[in-house]
Structure 1
Amino acid sequence: MDYSSSPMTTEFTGQRPQTANLEDPLYYLSNMDTIVSWVADHHADLLTERERTRLVAFADLATGPRALLTRMVMRTGELFRADKLLYPELPVPEAEALKLLVQEGWLDNSPELSLDDLFRLFTLAELRPVFGGWLHQQGHPKTLGKAQMRELLAEAFSEPKPLQHWLAEAVGEQAPEVVQLQDMALFDRIRLMFFGNLRQSWTDFVLVELGVQQFEPVPFTPESRAFQHRSEVDGYLQMHQCRERLDRGEPATEVWADVPGPVDNPWLTSRRDRLLLELGRQAERQGEQELALQVWAASGHREARLKQLRLLERMKRFDEAWAIACQWRTSELTDAEAQGLNRLLKRLAPKVGADKPEPVDNPTLREFTLTLPKPDTGTVELAALRHLGTDDAPVFYVENTLINALFGLLCWPVIFKPLPGAFFHPFHIGPADLTREDFVARRQQAFEEHFGLLKTHAYKQHILDTFQTKQGIANPFVFWPVLDEELLELALHCIPPRHLEALFRRLLTNIKEHRSGFPDLIRLVPDAEQPEQRYEMIEVKGPGDRLQDHQVRWLEFFAREGIPASVCYVRWQGDEASL
């Protein structure tokens, strides 16, 4: 395909790209070709003429050189020893492929190397002949370790130079060749536009047999792209560089100066908010408290506000913290945020002469204890399940799978709505913005429409139809191996729709946290007269086990909403005397 002249595809309507079979020794090359062609087709307008030309040149490379170049791009760093590049699956010798890649400008075979580069590429045994004479003249023994040698050489050998200048006197013409990749910036840009992030490596796609997984077909249009302008790609890359600098421990004040300003792109805004969250943490660790406050105030990340308030409290700026906290209290908060804020207000109140906030009236949890024979095999949950289940009231081990699946099946079209920044390629298990703060807000109307089905009789058939038509297709809320139609039908008969809506709405307030913490078991009583008596969720705790915070929050929610749930504490027969 001539990437330099083809217009960007407005919607992917042809055959969807396929991943290679791992039985093909060059499967990774097929997957790399898929990535390059996908980005060239769907993001051509965000590439420069030179970049498009380079992608054409990549596609035109013979199989052997293209496969070797792919292997090098996938590895860490840009410098490689030619004698260490051993890939027997290549259809040509490595030396022949390297020669062509040098000729075509993909590799530089005489790069300048720093002392650090040299010590990364060569062994202690190879380096001793190079620096032994100098070290001996300085009065150092020949038995120095690699780290000690590097430290002693740092000041005298600080200038980069070609490998031949480093090793010529020691090994002469036998010096191995070192090559450097020349287009890593382009490949990083391609990786970003394909994955939507630089956290994922090439191996996340190139070395994975994605063919064993089925993916929901999502239409790709120019409007659904996360990046609409090249400047947005540049901004993301700039933010990524800032994050890397923070990870290296650079002063937060220096990194802050290079953070891009606010943007109109909501997807990039969330990325910037996360960067500012980490920048504030770094600033506080480095003693830059005022900068930390400034950065967290500018971040829209849900964790930033509480960190800002806690720092103000430590700085004894109680009035300022109290004013911000009181204003924040009127916002819609997640359970974790509300819990942290209430604790903070309780501490701040006496410092500012205010009344302490009313204590949260947490409901009493339903609990019961079972004393059972200790089984030879199996978990405590299975022991409780066998004891509690009857023919009229079967018990199922569902934990986080059932409620999530019911939600995922009801709201399938909403989850896979092709919004900007949600899908970057055809191989997503779910939307890339799933745990972002604005995931629900961007889909609010669509969620309300599907929740509206719960007020009619249509929701049951809708969920069952989706179960049939989407069987096996990846969905972040549906774990197919543990889901069957009999359990779905029984659950839909027993769980009242108003309870489902309450559960689903809480799930959406914090998807990252609320997808877990559901009770282990569910008891279904289909013949009970009252709908509220047709099911019960049961959290099982064995000897010495206790409820986790996120489990307690779910159980308290159940109690407030009138959703039947309880905690079952299991004790083993014969252990009572030790209690």
Structure 2
Amino acid sequence: MTPVSTPHSSIPGTADLDNPLYYLENFETVVRWVRRHHSDLLTAEETGHIDSLLTLNQPERALVARLVMRTGELFRVEKLNYPEFGVPVADAASGLSRSGWIDDAPDIPLTEVFRLFTLAELRPALADRISATGLPAAAAKGLLKDTLIPLHPDPAPVEHWLPNLPTRVIRLNHMALFDRLRLMFFGNLRQSWSDFVLVELGHQQYEQVPLSAESRAFDERDDVDRYLVMHHCRERLDNGESPETVWQEVPAASDNAWLESRRGRLLFELGKLAERGRNTELALAAYEQSGHREARLRQLRLLERLKRYREAWQLIIAAGEEPRFGAEERGLERIQSRLAKKLGKTPPPPSARPALTAFTLELDNPEGHSVEWVAMEHLSQPEAPVAYVENTLINGLFGLLCWPALFAPVPGAFFHPFHTGPVDLYRDDFVERRQALFDDCLDALATDDYKSRIRNTWRQKQGAASPFVIWPALSEDLLNLALECIPTHHLELMFRRLLDNLREHRSGFPDLIRFQPGHSDPNRRYEMIEVKGPGDRLQDHQTRWLEFCVGQDIPVSVCYVRWARIAE
């Protein structure tokens, strides 16, 4: 479908948090945005529902917004308390009933009755049904559910279940429409209405990226439908439905790379559940179709466990030609070594790995601080201050220097004004689509210009949401020390490794950084230190960063902490 050609220059504002109905204003900002920019992906019936919603009176619109942000579709009116409406909730509900937005007498499955009502309310109302099963009157709620629900599978009005309880249960209609609107706005269903409307909007600053008519999450209604089907498949798995049943509903592969990555995650989870249920053939089929970054290792381990060694060997040889991510290389190496012994083949030579510098500290911790904090306090000296930075410092410097590339108005990267970062950040072509922009940012490292760029961005963008800059963790003093002490070529090496695999390489940095501005060697005016407490060990992604740094002569070490014994 051709996107609706509407101007995107007018950026909607966020509501004043002092307004008690701020959430309604934010909610309607989202609804209006989708209505305006995605109407070609909506049916006439759907746009009609949106338009009718926006003509309701304010209390009714506010109640719809509140119900959309709550869990489920069924609600007890007497439990809803929203004084900011200015009218009783029951009156607003009656208005919505007349306009078709709620069902005032829905049939309710017994599962929902147990969710909506307390045990104290249920016991007397269900006394006859409980007695008929032979359960004691004081049986726990879980036991009552497990026993009664299979015996009463059909939904019925609340009066059928609880005849003598004064209550009013309503069902919000058109919830599927709101899921569709949420998906088209966010590009995912991971973000909830409540988090966004009640928390993010108004509490967060956003970089304002120019938007065009092509700046949308979806261009085809079929893609929206495919996403929703996959989302419902995942919900069914999470709710305990068998992977064998859900497998039948998983959509076929498509040429949409983004949706294929989601399909890969769905198949990976389905495969794990099938494997857990000992349906190994289904698990292998799901892993093989998945394309998920970890699916191939799971497939190989399962083949190995099934003693299908030759099949696993053929797969591992093909996988070695094109590893999907850094951690897979180590996993493939381990499995191939085991398979080689079983098949009488020559095992691959172990990859060369540089030795890591390590030291041990024996420290007291009477106040129960984290091991990183205790190590930082012990190691810090006036002439050599130590900061606890973990993944925030190098990522932050990268994010500040490369801000123009990260927030470039690339089609498909930003499709509403409230993104915390580009939505294609972890797609395979993310860097390629911005290569010239990243080259320009990193070229600044050839002179001291990069320092002024970083400082200017730190000042100008202060507080704006970024996938790499955690503002509270990046003080001006820390920023200046880092720029003074970390050599330019070290920053470039680390930044380029980040760009090789942003998803994987943005984590695993050492916990601490020790600055030594007065050191005579400009390459040794800082040191990154990974801290490990008793019983803790290095994770693969941490080891890979440490080994990379050692290989590039970037100063790093591992500090093992032992707690001093308290004298009795």
- TM-score, structure 1 length as denominator? 0.87
Q: Encode CA deviations 1:488-534: one digit per residue, 9 max, x unaligned.
A: 34433433333212212222344344333322333344455554233
Task: Determine if the alignment matches structure 1 residue 93 to structure 2 residue 88.
Answer: yes
Tell me the CA shift for residue 366 of structure 1.
1.8
Q: Count matched residues.
A: 566
Say yes or no: does 1:13 pair with 2:9: yes
Match of 1:33 in 2: 28
Q: Give the C-alpha shift of residue 227 in structure 1.
A: 0.5
Write the deviation string for residues 182-207 of structure 1: whole angstroms up to 9, x where unpaired.
11011111111222222222211122
Cross-structure match for 2:72 = 77
Tell me, yes or no, if structure 1 residue 279 matches structure 2 residue 275.
no
Gaps of 5+ in 1: 1-6
The equivalent of 1:212 in structure 2 is 203
| 451-460 or 210-219: bigger deviation | 451-460
Partners in 1 of 2:429 and 2:65 — Cα distance?
A: 36
Structure 1 residues 127, 506: CA separation in 2 closer, same or farther (over 3 Å shift)? Answer: same
Q: Which residue in the other structure is 1:532 paired with? A: 523
Amino acid at match of 2:84: E
Alpha-carbon shift at residue 61 of structure 1 (Å): 1.2
Q: Which residue of 2 aligns with 1:3?
A: none
Residue in structure 2 matched with residue 362 of structure 1 by the alignment: 353
TM-score (norm 2): 0.89
Provide the rounded CA distance (Å) in 2 between the counterparts of 1:126 and 1:487.
58
1:53 and 2:44 aligned: no
Matches within 5 A, 1:331-350: 331-332=322-323, 334-350=325-341
Unaligned runs of 5+ in 2: none
Task: Give the alignment partner of residue 222 of structure 1, picking from 209, 213, 218.
Answer: 213
State whether residues 415 and 431 of structure 1, in contact with CA within 8 Å, keep that contact through their aligned partners in structure 2: yes
Aligned partner of 1:117 in structure 2 is 112
Is contact 1:243–1:275 with CA below 8 Å preserved after alignment?
yes
DSSP 3-state at the match of 2:85: coil
Alignment of 1:482-561 (within 5 A): 482-526=473-517, 528=519, 530-541=521-532, 546-561=537-552
Cα distance 1:238–1:546, how it changes in 2: closer, same or farther (>3 A)? closer
Q: Deviations over 1:388-419 (max 9, x none)?
A: 55666554443322211111111112222344
Contact 2:15–2:23 (CA under 8 A) maintained in structure 1: no
Residue aligning to 1:4: none
Q: Supply the RMSD in Å over aligned alpha carbons.
A: 3.2
Q: Which residue of 2 aligns with 1:426?
A: 417
Larger displacement relative to structure 2 (395-404 or 268-277): 395-404
8 Å Cα contact 1:522/1:538 also seen in 2: yes
Shift of 1:288: 2.4
Q: Secondary structure at the match of 1:539?
A: strand
Amino acid at match of 2:8: F
CA contact (8 A) 1:19 1:34 kept: no
Hey, what does 2:554 align to over in structure 1? 563
The change in CA–CA distance for 1:148 and 1:376 in structure 2 (over 3 A counts) is closer
Q: Which shows bigger deviation, 387-396 or 463-472?
A: 387-396
The residue identity in structure 2 corresponding to 1:313 is E
Q: Distance in 1 between matches of 2:437 and 2:462?
A: 22
Counterpart CA distance in 2 for 1:493 and 1:351 is 54
Please name the residue that 2:226 is paired with. 235
Aligned to 2:461: 470
Q: Identity of aligned pairs, percent?
A: 55
How far apart are residue 40 of structure 1 and its match? Answer: 1.4
- For 1:60-459, what aligned pairs fall within 5 Å after superposition? 60-124=55-119, 126-127=121-122, 130-133=125-128, 146-147=141-142, 149=144, 153-154=148-149, 157-166=152-161, 170-171=163-164, 175-208=166-199, 210-332=201-323, 334-369=325-360, 393-436=384-427, 438-459=429-450
Q: CA deviation at 1:355?
A: 0.7
Superposition deviation, residue 217 in structure 1 = 0.8
Change over 3 Å in CA distance of 1:294–1:445 after alignment to 2: farther
Change (3 A) 1:249 1:188: same
Closer/same/farther in 2, CA of residues 564 and 149 from structure 1, 3 Å limit: closer
What is the CA deviation profile of residues 289-319 of structure 1, one whole-angstrom value per residue up to 9, with x for unaligned ones? 2222222222221111111111111122212
- What's the CA shift string for 1:109-148, capped at 9, x where partnerless? 1222233333433445555555545666777765555555
| CA separation of 1:376 and 1:452: change in aligned 2, threshold 3 A | same
Q: Does the CA contact (< 8 Å) of 2:359 and 2:558 recur in 1? A: yes
Which residue identity is paired with 1:279? L
Note closer, same or farther for the CA distance 1:365–1:93 as it changes in structure 2 (3 Å cut). Answer: same
